[in-house]
Amino acid sequence: MKQKDKNSNQTVRKNIVKDIFTRPKAEKEKISAIFTHYRHSPKIIPPSPQKEAPSLRPLPAAIDIGASGIKLFQLGEGEKGELEIICIDEEGLPAAADNDPTVSIKSALKKITSRNETGPLCTTTLSTKDVQFYNMLFPQMQEDELIAAIRYKVTQLRPFDLDIEELIIKFSKWEGMGAVSATSSQRVIVACTHRDTVKKTVSLLQGAGLKPVKIGILPFDLINLSRFYKAREVKNEVTLWIDMGETGTLLAIEKGGSLCFSRNLSLSSKNMTKALAGHRGVTEEEAEKAKRNYGLVFWAADKKISPFYESGESPDKADKSEAVYYGLVAHLENLVVDIMHSFKYFSYQVTQSEIAKFDRVVLCGGGANLTNLDRFLSARLGVPVECANPFALFGLSDAMKSRQKRLIPASSNFAVCAGMAAGQKIEIPRQINLLAEEEKRRIQVLSTALKQKPVLATAVVVMLGISLLGIQAVRSGHYKGKMNSLTRQVKTTKAQLGNMQARQLSLGKEAADLLNKKALLEARLGLVRGGLRRPEDFSGFLTSISELLPEDIWITSLSYKEDRLTITGSTADMGLIAALIGYIKSSDEFMDADFNYTEKDPVQGVYNFEIVADVRT
């Protein structure tokens, strides 16, 4: 690049490279920080904005009050309707004081709610012992006509021997039943419970500082989980839900998300523990521990017959898993029989063979944690059997997994709780709620209207006060007259009661005299009967007995009293005892003969027996 010097006409050539790469001289030379012990502070890079965790709206907590403990399960709902578990917990019930379980339940409720910030709103469910179910078939009709028809039938059936005014009645229609529900008929399952039972449940929760918004019924709440299973192998499949609790087992039959049948089975976890304790000769605590540790580990699909320990053999000599298996297998086989008989009754009597098979079984409750129980039932019932896992149906954060690590492996214990919680996201017509929601809504609407118009509210309150006072005055006069009438009736009844007591004493004396006379006559009759056979006749009598005895039977004692002969003896052949009874029955000396007992002596290897025969007088 060329430029002209201002002082001369000569052109000066400029060094561009030197101008660019030559550093300007600093006023004071500095030492690089690399060679000193000082370090410059690192540049602070502003953090990239992190995505906040989606906020969840907590739903009312579901509380399952069981026989041995209380379980809590709460879901949170996201902005897009997704559900995530935000709280799970469990609290055992302390020993009931003065045989009043209410005190221990309230104590456990306060403990579990105080350590979990779930809020006062909650839902719970009634067990099947407090509910009676009926399967009914009606022609197609309007909803109000159907309700009237159900109430009429319930009035005739009288559940719990109560009038219909004392009952709460809920029903659910079957769905997905094909031609039957689509043409001329519709099936419903009706649930009836006592109003006082619901009031006691509400009072129990309110006493622990909770506010129930829904009280359901166990089988309906349990099958709510079926609506959250993403995939099923069979459309509208029939599923058996088996809830194995400490004091009982529930069988619920579900088709297409609708409850079709419910029944209580005889098996319970407590019964299995007691049976195992008796089988192994240990305490129930040790039996419960062995049941949890071993379960059905010893079971295999080829074990068809269950052997029994011989008397005197110590089960400690056998493998513990084997001993636990043989202590439980008889009860589990009975469970299989109960399941099959219950389903056959449902198939033949309720559906008239319209539903002839079931597609799968879902286990839940504490008993479902028994090792290999699902494999055992699958082999016996011939269908897939799975343990309910509500934690797989909803989102579960890592924090929740770590905090409730001990509860997650026993996921089937929380199936009922999860069903209650999930039921809040099911459309209202499908829900079963025993609380009077409509009455609550009317009261809230009226309260809001009165708050907006204070003058009208004052007038309404005054009018209500006057009306109530007038009604109370009329009722007071009515009840006063009724009380006077009842007082007169009480006096008359007391006088009649005194006469009846005097008569009762007289009849008691007469009865005692008659009993004494009866005893005296029976004693005399015994003496007369004893004298009918002369002593000299017994020689021929004993000769007849000796002729009837087979050679290989040994008689150890003979006793004769009141025309009955008792023969005690031993033999090595069991068949000779039956033959001896036949000889005695065909003899002219006797009228009848029968076994008293027969047992085998394990030491001598012979059968001891006792026969009782009636002698002809």
Highest mean pLDDT among 195-204, 533-542, 604-613: 195-204
Given CA atoms 535, 541, 546, 549 in this order, what sign does their dihedral have? negative
Q: Which two three-digit tokens encode residue 37? A: 């012990």
Q: Does the structure show a pLDDT above 70 at 393? A: yes
Could you tell me if 591 and 605 lie in one domain? yes
Residue of 165 and 95 predicted with greater confidence: 165
Note whether residue 524 is domain-resident: no
7: pLDDT confidence band, cut at 50, 70 and 90?
very low
Q: Is the pTM of this model over 0.75?
A: no
Q: Does the structure show a pLDDT above 50 at 535? A: no
441: pLDDT confidence band, cut at 50, 70 and 90?
very low
Q: Does the structure show a pLDDT above 50 at 201? A: yes
Highest mean pLDDT among 223-237, 336-350, 421-435, 509-523: 336-350
- For residues 275 and 331, the answer to whether their CB atoms sit within 8 Å is yes
Calpha distance 248→404 (Å, rounded): 27
Tell how far CA 530 is from the center of its chain.
61
> Which residues have a Cβ under 8 Å from the Cβ of 350 and sit 6 or more positions away?
135, 260, 261
Calpha distance 83→95 (Å, rounded): 36
Residue from 239, 235, 234, 236 nearest 254 by CA? 239
- For residues 216 and 336, the answer to whether their CB atoms sit within 8 Å is no
Could you tell me if 352 and 209 lie in one domain? no
Q: What is the largest CA-CA distance in the chain?
A: 180
Whose tokens are 């005892």? That residue is 577
Domain range for 315 is: 236-387
Please give the backbone phi and psi of residue 79, each rounded to the nearest 5 degrees, phi first: -65, -30
CATH number at residue 421: 3.30.420.40
User: Average pLDDT for residues 569-583, to the nearest whole number?
Assistant: 84
Could you tell me if 398 and 371 lie in one domain? no
Could you tell me if 214 and 247 lie in one domain? no
Q: Which of 361, 387, 413 is where one domain is finished?
A: 387
Residue of 445 and 482 predicted with greater confidence: 482
> Which residues have a Cβ under 8 Å from the Cβ of 15 and sit 6 or more positions away?
none
Element containing residue 513 per DSSP (H, E): helix 454-531
Note whether residue 472 is domain-resident: no
Q: Which amino acid is at 480?
A: K
Q: State the chain's mean pLDDT as an integer.
A: 80
Residue from 418, 64, 57 nearest 215 by CA? 64
Cα separations (Å) of 27 from 18, 24, 40, 300, 373? 20, 9, 22, 93, 89
Q: Which amino acid is at 72?
A: L
183: pLDDT confidence band, cut at 50, 70 and 90?
low
> What's the pLDDT score for residue 430?
66
Q: Which two three-digit tokens encode residue 403? A: 């905090």
Cα separations (Å) of 175 from 186, 296, 430, 552? 9, 37, 11, 71
> Which residues have a Cβ under 8 Å from the Cβ of 54 and sit 6 or more positions away?
78, 79
Could you tell me if 244 and 224 lie in one domain? no
Could you tell me if 251 and 361 lie in one domain? yes
User: Average pLDDT for residues 490-501, to the nearest whole number?
Assistant: 88
Calpha distance 532→528 (Å, rounded): 7
Residue from 202, 123, 121, 109 nearest 423 by CA? 123
As for how many domains the chain has, the answer is 4
Could you tell me if 59 and 201 lie in one domain? yes
DSSP assignment of 18-64: HHHHSPPPPSS----GGGSS--PPPP-PPPPPPPPPPP-EEPPEEEE
Could you tell me if 107 and 195 lie in one domain? yes
SS3 assignment, position 370: coil
501: pLDDT confidence band, cut at 50, 70 and 90?
confident
438: pLDDT confidence band, cut at 50, 70 and 90?
very low
CATH number at residue 546: 3.30.1360.100
Residue from 35, 52, 224 nearest 125 by CA? 224
Q: Does the structure show a pLDDT above 50 at 565? A: yes
Calpha distance 101→264 (Å, rounded): 22
Could you tell me if 84 and 214 lie in one domain? yes
Could you tell me if 147 and 167 lie in one domain? yes
